[in-house]
Structure 1
Amino acid sequence: MATNFQPQSNITQHDGFCVWENIWIPLKDGRQLSARIWMPDMVQNEEGKITPVPAIFEYLPYRKRDGTAQRDESTYPVFACAGYAGVRVDISGTGESDGVFDDEYSPRELSDGVEAINWIAEQPWCNGKLGMMGISWGGFNALQIATLRPEPLKAVISIGSTVDRYNADIHYKSGCHLNSNLSWSGVMQCFANRPPDPALVGDRWRDMWLERLEGANLILDEWLSHQRYDDFWKHGSIEQDYDALEIPSLVISGWADAYKNAPPKAAENMPGLAKAINGPWVHKYPHFAYPHPRSDFHQEALRWWGRWLCDEMNDAEKLPAYRAYISENVRPSLWREHEEGRWVAEDVWPSNSIRPQKLYLNADHSLSETSNAGGRLSICSPEDTGIACGEVFALAPDTETPRDQRIDDGGSLVFETDLLNDAIEILGQPTLSLNVAIDAPLGNLAVRLIDVHPDGVSHRVCFGVLNLAHRHSNETPEEMVPGLAEDITITLDHIGYRFLPGHRIRVSLSTAYWPLIIPSPYHVTASIALDKKAFLSLPVRATGNQMVVDDEIHMPEPEDTNPLPAYKEITPSKTERRVEKDLSGNLTHYITEDDTGTTEIPNHALRVRHTSLVKWSINPDTPLGAQASSKWCCYMSREDWSIKLETEVSMVLNADNFDLFGKMTAYENDKEIFARDYQQSIPRDCM
């Protein structure tokens, strides 16, 4: 269904482009999606003649009007000035789009996305060719929608995403229940149920808001009802059918991001033209991410769009399969501004230049190329081992990243090399092979690969976890037989890292990694056989042992060191992260408090603020009774209009169940207009 060229909404004019602040995309069932569009001046000349251009489509629930406006305004003007229409669309039930939010990457979300693509392609200002891009949610659904093969979609750029929704998202990891499952449900309980902006939808804003609030479910209930890799998680997991993704895909992430595994998996498995990049970054776009060095994402993207949407002969197809930053000498810090290292390229992936190197775990706690086979060691970690873990995915290079690992090594089995005489450089996924028995039917193991500096400071290079019931399969888990030893392998995350001479390599093994993973119902003791089956396998680059490194490639950095537009700060932001020990009650509390401060959005004067309090509590001697809660509050206001939305999601861990509780309270001009409580108990399933 086409629309008139001139939009029926506010237009803001800029140098080289204009912004259509709100455009309605009609869906076949009568709902409308809300879009903000950056349009090149070249689309319509002085005589009114339209010259259609390619479009770049981004589709997510984080609100184009305020939530992602700042980052959108750092990128879409660049695209528009280069001749592309940027179309930023809110998912149904979020922002100004009609309906009620249902779940992440639901069939309806993907179907609506295909409809939106087809609608955009039919507009007189579009030449029928689209690219799709995004980070995190928008990166996920870009890949997922591409597998549905809408004809106008010609290329994808996916940042901070995954090909495996079960093992490589914020819910589960190798069968372990991640703490971000609860914390993210708290985020979405608040974020997905905020009201539309009355300035765009008029008086119907209240009815739309009440519809969202009344239709909202406790989203954690759904996620916890699927503790295995079942059809719920296979939906949208690209790894289930790589062959379906035929169009060129550029997949990008960072080592400080949870989604670092997606780029190399894309390069290895996608049948269409796939290119991969991993930088040193947290979960942000590369042109304003930390740690430095950044990457000039705008020029990288324009080259990609130019090749596949405009048929430019710019050799984008000849880029290396995988470009990666090899970090080195990284130290935990309160703010990691820059990371030492260099960029390298692998023309094909997996690379022929990478070979496995075994380091054996020995009874004297050494880690060496020689196995002194014999003996067993046991570990029963305190349940609060893991407080130096950081977040599953870090959004800032501060205390969200891992702390000095000596904090957690006291509750772990530790194996360490002698001082390195030569550098060891790795790129890929390390693995740890063990023969292990536990004294319970269920238990978890966590492995941390650590760079130990000459002064003892210890940086977590990467980690892996395993729910031992999932040792053979995430689809059909099987409890362990207590006391019966089995051979297992734990796969750690992809990483590019160079261990320097004078440093040591350490492997730390624990039966707990709290609060990053939720404990099993048992306070487990694991027994490890120190034989030739106990070894760390490192993916060593053939050039990595050279003292003179001559394989560095150039990755341009953005010229603009502060690309985000400035928004007026009304009240300042604040972040706290702390651990509290209740010695009398024998409890450990892990607490994060955040306040975004109040920001006023330019041009329409909407003021927004979010606050959160997330708390995890556990007894170091038992996992039973451990608790967690995620409380969020959203404030929005303009002139004589204001709203507040308070949400809470909490969980108690019992032997057989996860007991869930939720609250939601909405206020208009300080008057309560909606309140609801939730309660649910979910049986534990081999977890």
Structure 2
Amino acid sequence: MRDGVQLAANVFLPSDSARFPVILVRTPYNKGDDLPPNYRFFVDHGYGMVVQDVRGRYESEGTFDSLTQEPGDGDDTLNWIARQPWSDGKIGMLGGSYVGIVQWKAAWLNNPHLKAIAPVVSGYDDYLDRFYSTGGAFQLGHRLLWMSENLQAPGFIPPDFASFVRTLPLRNADFAATGQRREIFQKALDHPGYDVFWRGASTRARLDQLRVPVFSVGGWYDSFVESDLAAFGALRRNSGVHRIVIGPWPHNMSIKFADVDFGRDAGAPIRRMQLEWFDQWLKSKDTPLMSQPPVRVFVMGVNRWRDEHEWPLARARMTSLYFAGKGKANTLNGDGALTAKPPRKAVPDRYEFDPRNPVPTSGGAVCCNPKVFPWGPMDQRPIERRPDVLVFTTPPLTSDLEVTGPVSVVLYASTSAPDTDFTAKLVDVFPTGEARNLTDGILRMRYRSSLEKSELARSGEVYKLTIDAGVTSNVFLKGHCVRLEISSSNFPRFDRNPNTGRPIADETVLRKASQTIYHDCEHPSRIVLPVIPN
């Protein structure tokens, strides 16, 4: 590398007698000695493969710092490969999760040898994807679980996941999970808003400069899916070459969950599509992939694949369903309803948020070990029986209703606390009563105006809030109901708000907050759905 640090890599070639286009894989998870079958596939089709341990991991020298090291190290590695006698100077990059993130970072510099990338379940912004959320809450479960499995001190045996996620103050949770202080965790806590620190590490801030063709793959139940789609939409405004596939998958791309099986058609020939992608850009072959529409999504509910020409879908009609009821929307047995028009008069709904007893995470787009932190679609009725969860539901639908795109919730709310959280979850209710989660989101009250500016609330004042509730593609079938859950926690997917207004990373005091949700003609609380005309 440019600073003298040496990174270890394995090189696999189709033969010893030619120069080849090369696919680079940069991993923090141990390159090992052998080439896995999914990479051997590319060698068998005429590509060299380079698999490298990133800086500070396994056989590579240096100190691991994922927020700063990858652009330069990726660029230096590309230049090294291009100089080798077995390389023809045309390089692609491949891989998922962190192995996808490093592709985005390498692409910042538009290295002339990097002809295409193929990130899988990766996202494109460290703040919004890996550490915080679009609403400013810390992605506690993801971060601590990843560190406990990958960055443990030698000989350290961590307590169970359910224990270390409750560590207070939050600043000590890295030690509880790994047996040592982790600088990356401390830096993230020092910068809870989207400031210059995060912009310096952001691919999102550099998308206009990026010239490398991107074929990305994501899943509706993966934590990076919203970011994957946002990156694609932004890139397509500059160039038409990019492609994306989104399936009904979690982070590991499996097609079966504990409670739900989307069927044998839920898979996709991703490896073949990636081969066509690299053949197009590294071998200058015309391939079927480039003659097809640039977007392929799996529509849940009807469980079918569909090709599209843009994202978000231009034909989507943003449709509001308004909160209604007589002030007793608590639990699934309450009177909360969703209607086509806002009620003229309505009694506000109230609940108490106790961070000592937060609403537990139940599936969804979480990461990264389902044995410890289950992901995907689950029956939400146990969650909906809690009195601190408001439940608003339509009558059974008289015809199918497709929702494909970004979902948002406009909430008129007040709180007794100087800072608190509000959550929203979209649910498909089956005639059997099963309540299947589709997508969700959270807003930290202090970031209601901007992630760049923290602003405390005044007790009892009504605020208009907008919650980014994620993205989905689902047909609510005839006889099903559309449901929305409103609460103030989703733990441990996100950290608990202690409701004190003080810096959360160092807080040890947890206080209850009284929450009020208003829904009348002057306060039209609603969920906004991207409805696709039949």
Q: TM-score range by the shorter chain?
A: 0.7 to 0.9
Classify the secondary structure of the residue corresponding to 1:169.
helix
Which residue identity lines up with residue 356 of structure 1 in the other structure?
M
Partner residue, 2:349: 377
Which of structures 1 and 2 has the larger relative contact order (alpha carbons within 8 angstroms, sep 6+)? 2
Does residue 81 in structure 1 map to residue 14 in structure 2? no
Partner residue, 2:199: 234
- Of residues 127, 131, 139, the one that matches 2:88 is 127
Does residue 359 in structure 1 map to residue 321 in structure 2? yes
Structure 2 CA distance for partners of 1:30 and 1:192, relative to 1, 3 Å? farther
Partner residue, 1:248: 213
Q: Which structure shows the higher helix fraction?
A: 2
Deviation at 1:122, TM superposition (A): 1.0
- Of all paired residues, the percent bearing the same amino acid is 27
TM-score (norm 2): 0.83
Structure 2 CA distance for partners of 1:31 and 1:287, relative to 1, 3 Å? farther
- Of residues 377, 385, 403, the one that matches 2:378 is 403
1:193-592 to 2 correspondences below 5 Å: 217-270=182-235, 271-272=238-239, 273-284=241-252, 293-328=266-301, 341-364=303-326, 365-375=336-346, 376-383=348-355, 384-390=357-363, 392-396=366-370, 399-401=374-376, 403-409=378-384, 410=386, 411-522=388-499, 523-532=512-521, 533-543=524-534
Deviation at 1:287, TM superposition (A): 9.5
Contact 2:318 2:529 in 1 (8 A): yes
Partner residue, 1:37: 11
Classify the secondary structure of the residue corresponding to 2:8.
strand
Q: Which structure shows the higher strand fraction?
A: 1
Deviation at 1:537, TM superposition (A): 0.9
- Of residues 32, 50, 53, the one that matches 1:90 is 53
Structure 2 CA distance for partners of 1:281 and 1:394, relative to 1, 3 Å? farther
Classify the secondary structure of the residue corresponding to 1:265.
helix
Does residue 100 in structure 1 map to residue 63 in structure 2? yes
Deviation at 1:382, TM superposition (A): 4.4
Structure 2 CA distance for partners of 1:514 and 1:349, relative to 1, 3 Å? closer
Deviation at 1:286, TM superposition (A): 7.0
Contact 2:317 2:532 in 1 (8 A): yes
Contact 1:366 1:416 in 2 (8 A): yes
How many pairs are equivalent?
475
Deviation at 1:400, TM superposition (A): 3.4
Deviation at 1:33, TM superposition (A): 1.0
Which digits, 9 at most, give the CA deviation of each residue in 1:371-415, with x for residues without a partner? 213232112244434324237225449943353211122221111
| Structure 1: gaps (5+ residues) | 1-26, 45-49, 195-212, 329-339, 544-687
TM-score (norm 1): 0.65
Partner residue, 1:11: none
Deviation at 1:112, TM superposition (A): 1.4
Q: Distance in 1 between the 2:111 and 2:519 partners?
A: 54
Which residue identity lines up with residue 47 of structure 2 in the other structure?
Y
Q: Distance in 1 between the 2:254 and 2:95 partners?
A: 12
Structure 2 CA distance for partners of 1:542 and 1:457, relative to 1, 3 Å? same
Q: Distance in 2 between the 1:288 and 1:73 partners?
A: 23
Deviation at 1:231, TM superposition (A): 2.3
Deviation at 1:235, TM superposition (A): 2.8
Q: Distance in 1 between the 2:467 and 2:182 partners?
A: 35
Structure 2 CA distance for partners of 1:322 and 1:236, relative to 1, 3 Å? farther
Structure 2 CA distance for partners of 1:99 and 1:190, relative to 1, 3 Å? same
Contact 1:91 1:97 in 2 (8 A): yes
Deviation at 1:227, TM superposition (A): 0.9
Structure 2 CA distance for partners of 1:466 and 1:249, relative to 1, 3 Å? same
Q: Distance in 2 between the 1:403 and 1:239 partners?
A: 32
Structure 2 CA distance for partners of 1:77 and 1:59, relative to 1, 3 Å? same
Deviation at 1:427, TM superposition (A): 0.9
Q: Distance in 2 between the 1:222 and 1:122 partners?
A: 36
Does residue 112 in structure 1 map to residue 73 in structure 2? yes
Q: Distance in 2 between the 1:214 and 1:39 partners?
A: 40
Q: Distance in 2 between the 1:191 and 1:537 partners?
A: 46
Structure 2 CA distance for partners of 1:183 and 1:394, relative to 1, 3 Å? closer
Which digits, 9 at most, give the CA deviation of each residue in 1:540-560, with x for residues without a partner? 1123xxxxxxxxxxxxxxxxx
Q: Distance in 1 between the 2:396 and 2:180 partners?
A: 60
Deviation at 1:352, TM superposition (A): 2.0
Contact 1:362 1:371 in 2 (8 A): yes
Contact 2:152 2:179 in 1 (8 A): no
Contact 2:100 2:120 in 1 (8 A): yes
Q: Distance in 2 between the 1:284 and 1:498 partners?
A: 24
- Of residues 144, 147, 159, the one that matches 1:182 is 144
Q: Distance in 2 between the 1:427 and 1:57 partners?
A: 34
Classify the secondary structure of the residue corresponding to 1:493.
strand
Q: Distance in 2 between the 1:444 and 1:261 partners?
A: 20
Structure 2 CA distance for partners of 1:219 and 1:186, relative to 1, 3 Å? farther
Contact 1:450 1:507 in 2 (8 A): yes
Deviation at 1:538, TM superposition (A): 0.6
Does residue 166 in structure 1 map to residue 155 in structure 2? no
Contact 2:90 2:282 in 1 (8 A): yes
Which residue identity lines up with residue 323 of structure 1 in the other structure?
R
Q: Distance in 1 between the 2:517 and 2:374 partners?
A: 32
Deviation at 1:170, TM superposition (A): 4.1
Structure 2 CA distance for partners of 1:287 and 1:83, relative to 1, 3 Å? farther
Contact 1:35 1:89 in 2 (8 A): yes
Deviation at 1:74, TM superposition (A): 2.3
Structure 2 CA distance for partners of 1:288 and 1:423, relative to 1, 3 Å? closer
Q: Distance in 1 between the 2:97 and 2:286 partners?
A: 30
Q: Distance in 1 between the 2:153 and 2:531 partners?
A: 43
| Structure 2: gaps (5+ residues) | 157-177, 327-335, 500-511
Q: Distance in 2 between the 1:373 and 1:381 partners?
A: 28
Q: Distance in 2 between the 1:374 and 1:326 partners?
A: 37
Give the alignment's Cα RMSD to 1 decimal. 2.6
Classify the secondary structure of the residue corresponding to 1:32.
coil
Contact 1:54 1:128 in 2 (8 A): yes
Deviation at 1:215, TM superposition (A): 11
Which residue identity lines up with residue 413 of structure 1 in the other structure?
L
Does residue 56 in structure 1 map to residue 23 in structure 2? yes
Which residue identity lines up with residue 245 of structure 1 in the other structure?
L
Contact 1:100 1:216 in 2 (8 A): no
Partner residue, 2:160: none
Structure 2 CA distance for partners of 1:215 and 1:489, relative to 1, 3 Å? closer
Q: Distance in 2 between the 1:317 and 1:269 partners?
A: 19
Q: Distance in 1 between the 2:277 and 2:153 partners?
A: 32
Contact 1:189 1:219 in 2 (8 A): no
Classify the secondary structure of the residue corresponding to 1:490.
strand
Structure 2 CA distance for partners of 1:483 and 1:516, relative to 1, 3 Å? same
Contact 1:448 1:509 in 2 (8 A): yes
Contact 1:189 1:218 in 2 (8 A): no
Contact 1:56 1:133 in 2 (8 A): yes
- Of residues 123, 143, 149, the one that matches 2:110 is 149
